[in-house]
Homo-oligomer: A and B are copies of this chain.
Amino acid sequence: MDNFIFQNPVKLIMGKGMIERLSKEIPHESRILITFGGGSVKRNGVYTQVKNALKDYKCVEFWGIEPNPKVETLREAVKLGKENDVNFVLAVGGGSVIDGSKLISAALLTDTDPWNLVLAGKRVRETVPLGTVLTLPATGSEMNNGAVISSKVTEEKFGFYSNFPKFSILDPEVTFTLPTYQVACGLSDTFVHVMEQYLTTTRQSRIMDRWAEGILQTLIEIAPQIKANQKDYNLMADFMLSATMALNGFISMGVSQDWATHMIGHEITALTGLTHGHTLAIILPATLRVLKDQKADKLVQYGERVWGIKKGSIDERIEQAIVNTEEFFRSLGLTTRLSEEKISEDVIEEVKKRFDARHVAYGENENVTGEIAFNILKTAFK
């Protein structure tokens, strides 16, 4: 086990009807910038619940934070927030709205352009306090201090780190009416978040392994049941809690992490617009195939504990574990090959070029160079 420092101060407020607690959590003199994505919160009743809870506050609303939040949009939100001298940001939406709001919270307190805050690559600790009402379980942004921000102009997508939200409210009932594709991408995103922290070197921590496997087992158990009944409260509560627990530091204490699949996936989204969770369903099986020698021991453990694969040679067991992983994504209704999404080989070349130009190598062993990424994408092609 590596030395580590863990701290996660987010107040997690979970359950039906909990949105009305907003007035207990936000100081009463606050001037709030409420940030939203599209209009789904008006259709599912979340908007009304939020407005009722905040009827005694001074609020200004910013609408239109898009999937893979664009800095060009967020600049407008920062402008609105500064004009109204806000001192609290409330993000109401999924991971994109929350990610974007983290950058807004930071940019409100500086004259530096938001994209420069992202490019600087430094954690920003001076931010306007942020709270969230989550509407889509997927990214875990509601309980971590990270964000991923894109630029329309440069077709780039980078990580950004600032403060944790003060609180996050998770009402499983808001997920009952989510589109099937968003649920599938949320399950995929959650699954791969766990794999990025788990599918590395073995024997680092028994308990962290067990907890990662516990989330994977939960996802595999609930995914078909969610397909059958997306309005089952306990089922959606476990989905929501799993997504939050998958990326809040609880399963990464003292262990190495990978994130190569994510780095490649981000490029695919930046270049083609394909939804993040979907890119991961395509990239992860290919990453495991290309790196299967390096990850052999953990793939065997993963196959045995998560999928019950106990027979066959090591090679057969590894292959079966990867096949099961890909079939899991397909069972969600997602494609798992680039060609199925009509993504051309030019995109693969471009990803390689970008990795090469940045002289980067990702993954737990920092060996996923442009060339290895190219191999992974070729493997993910058809």
Residues of A at under 8 Å CB distance from B? Answer: 1-18, 172, 203-208, 210-211, 213-215, 217-218, 221-222, 233-234, 237-238, 241-242, 245, 250, 253-254
With a cutoff of 8 Å between Cβ atoms, the chain B residues found around residue A204 in the complex are 234
Q: Which residue of B lies closest to A210 (CB)?
A: B214
Contacting pair A14 B254 (CB below 8 A): yes
Given A210-B214, A238-B205, A241-B253, answer yes or no on A17-B5 (Cβ-Cβ < 8 Å): no
Q: Which residue of B lies closest to A217 (CB)?
A: B210
Contacting pair A215 B221 (CB below 8 A): no
Contacting pair B238 A206 (CB below 8 A): yes
Contacting pair A207 B242 (CB below 8 A): yes
Our pick among B3, B211, B241 for the contact of A16 (Cβ within 8 Å) is B3
Contacting pair A15 B6 (CB below 8 A): no
Which of A10, A13, A233, A238 gathers the greatest number of chain B CB atoms within 10 Å? A238
Contacting pair B241 A205 (CB below 8 A): yes
With a cutoff of 8 Å between Cβ atoms, the chain B residues found around residue A217 in the complex are 206, 210
When chains A and B are docked, how far (Å) is the Cα of A77 from the Cα of B245? 40
Contacting pair B207 A241 (CB below 8 A): yes
Q: Which residue of B lies closest to A7 (CB)?
A: B11
When chains A and B are docked, how far (Å) is the Cα of A4 from the Cα of B14? 5
Contacting pair A6 B1 (CB below 8 A): no
Q: How close is A123's CB to chain B, nearest CB, in angstroms?
A: 16
Our pick among B10, B211, B245 for the contact of A214 (Cβ within 8 Å) is B211
Q: How close is A53's CB to chain B, nearest CB, in angstroms?
A: 16
With a cutoff of 8 Å between Cβ atoms, the chain B residues found around residue A9 in the complex are 7, 9
With a cutoff of 8 Å between Cβ atoms, the chain B residues found around residue A203 in the complex are 234
Which of A203, A234, A241 gathers the greatest number of chain B CB atoms within 10 Å? A241
With a cutoff of 8 Å between Cβ atoms, the chain B residues found around residue A208 in the complex are 241
When chains A and B are docked, how far (Å) is the Cα of A261 from the Cα of B173? 35
Q: How close is A217's CB to chain B, nearest CB, in angstroms?
A: 6
Given A210-B218, A218-B207, A221-B206, answer yes or no on A5-B1 (Cβ-Cβ < 8 Å): no
When chains A and B are docked, how far (Å) is the Cα of A242 from the Cα of B254? 13
Q: How close is A165's CB to chain B, nearest CB, in angstroms?
A: 11
A-B contacts besides A4-B14, A210-B217, 14 pairs, CB < 8 Å? A1-B241, A2-B15, A5-B11, A5-B14, A203-B234, A205-B237, A205-B238, A206-B222, A207-B218, A207-B241, A210-B210, A210-B215, A211-B214, A237-B254
Which of A207, A208, A242 gathers the greatest number of chain B CB atoms within 10 Å? A207
With a cutoff of 8 Å between Cβ atoms, the chain B residues found around residue A3 in the complex are 14-18
Q: How close is A296's CB to chain B, nearest CB, in angstroms?
A: 20
Q: How close is A42's CB to chain B, nearest CB, in angstroms?
A: 25
Q: How close is A7's CB to chain B, nearest CB, in angstroms?
A: 4
Given A7-B9, A15-B2, A234-B203, answer yes or no on A241-B254 (Cβ-Cβ < 8 Å): yes
Contacting pair A238 B14 (CB below 8 A): no
Q: How close is A171's CB to chain B, nearest CB, in angstroms?
A: 9
Which of A5, A172, A205, A221 gathers the greatest number of chain B CB atoms within 10 Å? A5
When chains A and B are docked, how far (Å) is the Cα of A4 from the Cα of B172? 12
